[in-house]
Structures are given as C-alpha cells and as structure tokens.
Amino acid sequence: MTPSQIHALLDAHRLRPNKALGQHFLADNNMAAHIVRLAGVQPDDHVVEVGPGLGSLTLALCDAGAHVRAVELDQRLAAVLAEVVHDRTVDVVVADALEVDWPAVLGDHDRWTMVSNLPYNVATPVVIRALETAPMIEHFLVMVQREVGERLAAVPGTKAYGAASVKVAYYAQADIVGTVPPAVFVPKPKVDSALVRLHRRSAPAVSTADPERMFELVRAGFATRRKMLRRTVGAALDLTPGERAEQVFQRAGIDPSARAETLTLAQWAALAHAESTGTVPETHVIAHAKLTLSLHVTGTRTDGYHNLEMLVVPLSEPCDELVIRPAGTASIAVSGPYAGRVPTDDTNLALRAARALGADVAIEVHKGIPPGAGLGGGSADAAAVLAAAPAVAGVDLQRFDLDAIAATLGADVPFSLRSAGAMRVRGVGDELARVILPELSVVIATPPFGCATVDVYRAWDDLGGPVGDTVDIDGLPPLRNDLEPAAHHVEPRLVAFKAAVEDAAGKPAILAGSGSSYAVIVRTDAEAQTTRARIADAVDGQVVVGHTVDAGVRPRP
C-alpha cells in the first residue's frame, strides 16, 4: 500500500493510529516485498504476522504464496484488515500477542515463520514470549525500533548487550539484516527501524538444569549495569550456610569484579550451575588414536601440501581424555606421561580449534597418545574440541562449517571428527568415505623417539617421491606406506626398531602415518596380548593393544 491508500483507509473507517499501541503502518510496497524476500518466504509456507495493521506486509506475504495467520489486538483494525484481504489465504485472529496461546493458535501446522512489523512498545516481549512458548515458529524476520533490534542481536562486550540479548541467544541466533527509514511509515516514527532475522536453535545454546534461575541471575546482573558482579549478582546468589559469593564465582571461572555486559551465555550458565550444584559444568570426551593402515602419496599441490589416499581406522587405545569447561578465555593444560612433549601455546591444535570457534573454554588433556608417533593425537584432541566445545561455550554452530575448520587445522582432524569406523581418506584429508573392514586387534609399538611430520614430507620430496613396500594381510586390501622410506631417512633408528618388532611378533609391521609407531595386526585379543608381551620384551618404548572402534571421538561413558 502507498501512503495515500493508507490515509484513505483510515479516513474511510474514521480511524487514527493509536500511539499507545505503537501503531506505525508500513506504506511502501517495495519495502514490504524486500522484507518478504529477506524472510525467505516460499509458496505454501505458513507465516504468522503479529500486528498486521492495515495489511501492507500481509498482502506482500500473500503475493509470495504464503498462508498467513494475522494476529491483531486492535479490533477496529482487524475488521479493516479482513476487508483488505477478503480474497486471500489469510486468517485474522483478534488476540494480544503478549497473552495469546500460541500452540492453540498455530497448532494445526508444525513449522511457522514469523514475519512482522512489530509495534514498537511491545516488540521485545513479543519476540521473547514467542521464543519461549511457540516452538513451532522456527524462523523470524521482524521489524522493530533500531535500538530494540540492536539489543536483540547484541553480543557480549557491546553497549547494547543486555538481559534480552542473553535470553534471545539462549533460544536463537539473531542478526540485524537491514535498516528501515521513517519515511516508509504512516505516521512517520522519530527513529529508524531495524530488520532482525532469528533462527531458532534445535536445542538451547547451553545446557542448564534451571534456565529460569539462570535468567534471574542475568536480570540481577543487568539491573545496575555499571556495578561489578560481586555487588549485583553476588547479592542475588542463593548461598549455602558459610558460603561466600566469591566462592561461587571462583567455581564458575568468573571474575567477580567484571560487569554483566562482559559475560557470555555460557558463563551465565556456568554461574547458575556453580550456585545450584557447587560444581563447575564440564564435559568429558575421549579422543582415540588413529592408525593409518595404508598411505599413498598421489601428488604435490601448488600450495605445498600433498594429495593423499589413505585407509585409516580409529583405535580404542591409545587415547586421550579431555575435560572441557566454560571459562573467560580459551586455555589448555596437559597432564599425563607425555605432558612435557605437548605445546600449550598457539601451536596446540586443540587450542587453535577452540579459538577458531570463538569458544571460551578451559581444556584439560590427559595424554595417552604419544606425540610425534604418527597416531594423530593432536588431531584427535582438536576434533574432540570441535565436537564438544560448542555445547559447553554456547557456540552457534549455524555460523560455522566444522568440516572446513577441521581441514584447516590438519589433514587428520576431519577423520577424527567424522570417523564412523574405517574410512578411505583422500586429498588433504578432507574427502572421507566409509569402508567396511573386519574388526581388528592391533599391537602398537612406539619408540622413545619420534619423527616430525613436516620433516618426513620434506624428505619424501627430496628423495624423489619413493614408494613404500606392499604388505599383504589376510582380509585386508594390499597395504603400503609411501612415507616409510622418508621416515627411515629422517630417523634411521626406525629401521632397527621395525626389525625388532617384526622379529618378536613373527608378523609384518606397518608404519603409522609419518612415524614413529609401528603396528602389528592380529586376529584375536588373546593373540594381541601375547604379541604385546613379546614386543615389550624386545624393544624400548610404549607397547599397547588397541581394537578398531566406530568413532574417532566420543563422550566418556
């Protein structure tokens, strides 16, 4: 509708915009069509519109082929709207969006989109109430006062970030996708409007036993924005006898001198958890070693990386165990027999994975996979962080392509992240295909020295691209590791180590990845244990028995 048509309708029905109801009627057909396009409305979609007014946006939705349910509080406008859309697929419902029973009004369909020019004075509670009580509304495109839009989509550390921002982030990903000038409304408001798009999450962004208690703490924190948390939230904490607020903040990993606008959603959840349980929320993940049964180098890329074709399996042992907790910033600590050989700076793949996600988590790794052994321990740790950190830190996965991040971290990370058992891995580790292999028992022997992967690949290039020897094992395709000659060149002690392993086992040994571990494949666990004992007597280093499993990373049972 044009401004003249809006004025004509108002005059014909002796109506005036009600300021108390925040009525500003959209009067620009191009803007109405633009909003519908931004909302992604398709023919036969079911759209709920709150505050349709005189129907400008309603008609644009109908033109896109949508079935519209229009919820209007003002009975006078509802009567006019019914006349405007009398020949369209529109159901007009006279109701207050702040009180309406959404499941009753929208229960005849499972999936809805809300597209609305929301009244300025109730926009925030309408959106939040719909998020809380209308799970069938999966997507939103709402026009609101610009300041309100900035609050709905605000992130921690910004001026607009507040209690409403936290609650919206719990349910949905919100983004401002456009602004709207006052000129397209009748009457013209005194401020610009914002178009906010929200996508409901399949599950809340963080796990908390009592969301309402978490939001009570959020409201307490933002009640006086400029005060420190120890004075705002600290006074609202439900403390046990003898307990101090500082103890709760410490358990949650939160600085009590910080202010509410600096806390992420995950930190609010951690605070509520620490208050109610006396503990810190955390998740435990097992990261399994990977064994490269076969590795063919098929070429060198222009970017310096090598194209590979590998047959890879995840093993039950050795493995790392990770504990991931929300924190103020990403950090990593390493324990276990190999802790001294694992970096904790920006070269650590697990820490890089957390930072790539923007996940503020504290990572603790107990290393059971020896570094530099060709077993993919660092890659497995990074995959575990990619799999588990988003839920702990409240990261919206819709913003990330985990597979793309995994590929940038290292060639073995995509396998550890997506492995469903044995996989054929190609390219630079980013092409995965399931392979059916029999269950295997494997004895892994790791010497007390390692090989740097970069050195092995450089040696492979310098040696002119040698091809490894083929090993035949019943029930498996021919196996070959093209990096073995280069690994022996980089670390000559591997030649004697391999010979000792094969003599003790009476079977061929396969180099794991770029080295330095060797694997002996056997058929039964009993045979594996006997073979492990013989190899352990013959060589120095770690010797363990592993079995093929169906995932590279998994939650700890």
pLDDT at 398 over 80: no
Q: Is 441-547 in CATH node 3.30.70.890?
A: yes
In order, the DSSP letters of 109-125 are -S-EEEEEE--GGGHHH
For position 197, what pLDDT does the model report?
A: 96
Residue whose pair of structure tokens reads 């280093």 in the numeric block:
541
Q: Sign of torsion, CA 259 260 264 266? A: positive
Asked if the domains 283-420 and 441-547 are classified in one and the same CATH topology, the answer is no
pLDDT at 464 over 90: yes
Q: Give the C-alpha separation, 461 to 445, whole Å.
A: 27
The confidence band for 1, taking pLDDT boundaries of 50, 70 and 90, is: confident
The three-point CA angle 318-402-405 to 5° equals 85
For position 392, what pLDDT does the model report?
A: 81
CB-CB contact of 419 with 290 (8 Å): yes
In order, the DSSP letters of 48-95 are EEE--TTSHHHHHHHHTT-EEEEEES-HHHHHHHHHHTTTSSEEEEE-
Q: Give the C-alpha separation, 178 to 460, whole Å.
A: 53
Q: Sign of torsion, CA 3 5 8 10? A: negative
Q: Is 3-200 in CATH node 3.40.50.150?
A: yes
Q: Is 283-420 in CATH node 3.30.1360.120?
A: no
Q: What are the tens digits of pLDDT across the range 471-502?
A: 999 889 999 999 999 999 999 999 999 999 99
For position 251, what pLDDT does the model report?
A: 83
What class has domain 211-277? mainly alpha
Mean pLDDT of the chain: 92
| pTM listed for this prediction | 0.66
Domains in the chain: boundaries = 3-200, 211-277, 283-420, 441-547
Residue 406, amino acid: A
Least confident of 123-127, 191-195, 279-283, 505-509: 279-283
